[in-house]
Amino acid sequence: MNAANDKARISIYAAWDSIEGFKFRRLLFFAEGLDYGLLMQLGYEPRPAAEPYRPVVRRVARGILELEDGGYARAYTVVKLPDSLPEAWPLELIYATDEIHFLIEPVEPAKARRMIDQRLLRLQSVLRGSTTWQLEQEAYKLQQLQQLLGGKARLVKIAIVLVVRGSSQEELWERSRRLEELLASRMVEYASGPGFYQRRLYNLEWTVPVFHYVDTLSAQALYPLVQEQLVDFGGLYLGYDLDTGEPVVFNPYARPNYNVVVLGETGSGKSMTLKVYVRRWWAAGLGQKTIIIDPESEYIGIREYLATGLAGYELSKDAAGERGGLGLDPVRLWRRGVIGLDEAVDIVQEYYRVPDELRGELVDVLGESESLEEAARLAEERATGLENYLKAAEADSWIYRGEPPLPTGRGAVYALAGIRSRRARALVGALLALVVSSQLRNSLLVVDEGWMFAQYPSLMLMFADIARRGRKKGVNFVFATQRPHDVLRSEHGRTILEQSATVLLLRLNEASLEAVKPIYNLSEAEEEQLLDAEPGQGILRVAGGWRLRIYVQPTPEELRVFSTRPGEW
């Protein structure tokens, strides 16, 4: 790490790129020579990046730099900044420039204090004789700066160099005109100068550009904070930022936990978003298996398009009869070490409404049995009253007998729409998720229509446990629901929604919006957006400071294959 007084440079390069067939202006950040502590004070989150190739100036002709790659360039330096600029102001320049360079030199603290004290003394001396509004303003700013430097801020010298390029002279002049108009609209004064001066600016010679003294807190407005653009290394293309037009490339494994929550009412684009996510998760090479719990059987018919090699299981009572049962006996799962005895007891007690006064007997019976069927027989022999509740398990024997349908090498889609009872569907879905998650590593687990499980605390506890332990196993857990208000009634459901590192909010009705508003601290503008959002539009909240208005963008082919309502996207 360099010393704090070393010269440094932060550079932003803009270039056209293509992701999933869509063309975007991609930003590349490069920093050198500055200690990370000061980088963070300036609002810049350092990322490792190799500096892009910069073509060398071949010659200068008529005030234009001719480059070795056959292109042309002009270089500018910012001469004077206005009193205030909007935060992340250079984002406005991205489409008018190809390079933005910040040359930075920290001023030694003692020297900074001396400079300010001396300037303030001179101003106060002048103000005793005569005064003007401008002098009073300058004195006031210096006093504020004294206070800032006495706290966490530091004084730095900053120069800003802008570079515009074009493949032809005509294109270069047009882009130069657009940049100059943009700078003028913000009352930013600039200089370009003759060719020899431009060459030295382009080469980033330290003594050429105009430097400005500024404190690190004020300087944050000069930087397009990295959080403004979510482009994770090795991530999947999700869509684009509705405010900046920049691509959103997301990697769940770059977050504090790997859990993703997707909330959206019917017709909001929730299912389309999940399908796009699954397909691109595979295309990005983020893991080894995909498991989808599919309550409405939306995914099983397109599983080969989502990921080649996904197994498909149509689960129903009839299908269970053909294969001897679904193999989801909680007692057997406990015996195999998939769940604990207490979890098995909770599931059976809750599902068959065993009263609390019989819980002790239930613990004994299950603990002495190898299966739920055997536990029901044992309860009948003991005649403690427990048998009246476990008799109901006989009707559900198709759920418990046999061996569970395990995923193949690539994973599986479990379609549950054939299970007529919503109650049984919730039980099967939760037990399936538990079975498969126990053997997955570096995998994607998707649970759609999560509200169906909300009325069963023990089932929601399973999902909360998957969410809590998923990071250790590399499980990207995606939990989606169209009724977040139902999920929030569950303590464990609330845990999932509150503690997931990534949340995508699509269009919500008023009841759902009222439920999630306090959790995600939504502004009035965000509430209005979510009430009226078009399919695929929403708000993406990601741990680390990102809060984007996003459009999830399917390709034409994905739209054709995935859409359940043609023409509505």
At 141-186, the pLDDT tens digits run 545 544 444 444 456 778 899 999 999 999 999 999 999 998 988 8
pTM of the predicted model over 0.85:
no
| Strands ordered across the beta sheet of 311-314 | 247-250, 236-241, 546-552, 537-542, 502-505, 260-263, 475-481, 443-447, 289-294, 411-415, 311-314
Average pLDDT over residues 414-443: 82
Confidence (pLDDT) at 2: 38
pLDDT band at 523 (very low <50, low <70, confident <90, very high): confident
Domain 236-315+405-562: CATH superfamily is P-loop containing nucleotide triphosphate hydrolases (3.40.50.300)
Confidence (pLDDT) at 95: 74
Confidence (pLDDT) at 152: 45
d(CA 299, CA 297): 6
Confidence (pLDDT) at 217: 45
User: Could you tell me which residues come within 8 angstroms of residue 490 by beta carbon, excluding any fewer than 6 positions away?
Assistant: 454, 455, 457, 460
- pLDDT higher than 80, residue 229: no
Average pLDDT over residues 277-282: 93
pLDDT top residue among 118 and 500: 500
**Is the alpha carbon torsion for 131, 137, 140, 142 positive or negative?**
negative
- pLDDT higher than 70, residue 219: no
**Is the alpha carbon torsion for 253, 293, 240, 24 positive or negative?**
positive
Per-residue 3-state assignment (H helix, E strand, C coil) for 425-475: HHHHHHHHHHHHHCCCCCEEEEECCHHHHCCCHHHHHHHHHHHHHHHHHCE
Confidence (pLDDT) at 133: 52
pLDDT band at 136 (very low <50, low <70, confident <90, very high): low
Share of the chain above pLDDT 70, in %: 80
Name, of 3-7, 232-236, 378-382, the range with top average pLDDT: 378-382
- pLDDT higher than 70, residue 20: no
DSSP string of 308-368, one letter each residue:
TT-EEEE-SHHHHHHHT-----HHHHHHTTSS-HHHHHHHHHHHTT--GGGHHHHHHHHHT
Q: Computed over its alpha carbons, how large is the radius of gyration of the chain?
A: 31
Per-residue 3-state assignment (H helix, E strand, C coil) for 476-541: EEEEEECCHHHHHCCHHHHHHHHHCCEEEECCCCHHHHHHHHHHHCCCHHHHHHHHHCCCCEEEEE
The domain limits of the chain are 8-107+154-228, 118-152, 236-315+405-562, 330-401
Read off the pLDDT of residues 64-123 as tens digits, 9 standing for 90 and up.
999 999 999 999 999 887 766 665 577 678 778 999 998 888 776 666 566 556 655 655
**Is the alpha carbon torsion for 121, 126, 130, 136 positive or negative?**
negative
Average pLDDT over residues 223-230: 49
Confidence (pLDDT) at 100: 92
Confidence (pLDDT) at 148: 44
Task: Identify the weakest region by mean pLDDT among 209-218, 404-413, 495-504, 507-516.
Answer: 209-218
Average pLDDT over residues 233-255: 85
**Backbone phi, then psi, for 384, in 5-degree steps?**
-95, 0
Average pLDDT over residues 543-556: 86
Read off the pLDDT of residues 34-66 as tens digits, 9 standing for 90 and up.
554 544 444 444 444 568 889 999 999 888 999
Confidence (pLDDT) at 427: 84
pLDDT band at 303 (very low <50, low <70, confident <90, very high): very high
- pLDDT higher than 70, residue 468: yes
Confidence (pLDDT) at 186: 83
Confidence (pLDDT) at 454: 84
Average pLDDT over all residues of the chain:
82
Confidence (pLDDT) at 45: 47
pLDDT band at 540 (very low <50, low <70, confident <90, very high): very high
- pLDDT higher than 90, residue 362: yes
Confidence (pLDDT) at 88: 59
pLDDT band at 535 (very low <50, low <70, confident <90, very high): very high
**CA distances, 189 to each of 76, 119, 173, 183, 452 (Å):** 10, 24, 19, 7, 60
Average pLDDT over residues 206-233: 62
**231, 239 Cβ separation under 8 angstroms:** no
pLDDT top residue among 238 and 62: 238
Confidence (pLDDT) at 370: 93
Read off the pLDDT of residues 313-359 as tens digits, 9 standing for 90 and up.
888 888 777 777 888 899 998 998 888 898 889 889 988 899 999 99
Confidence (pLDDT) at 272: 94
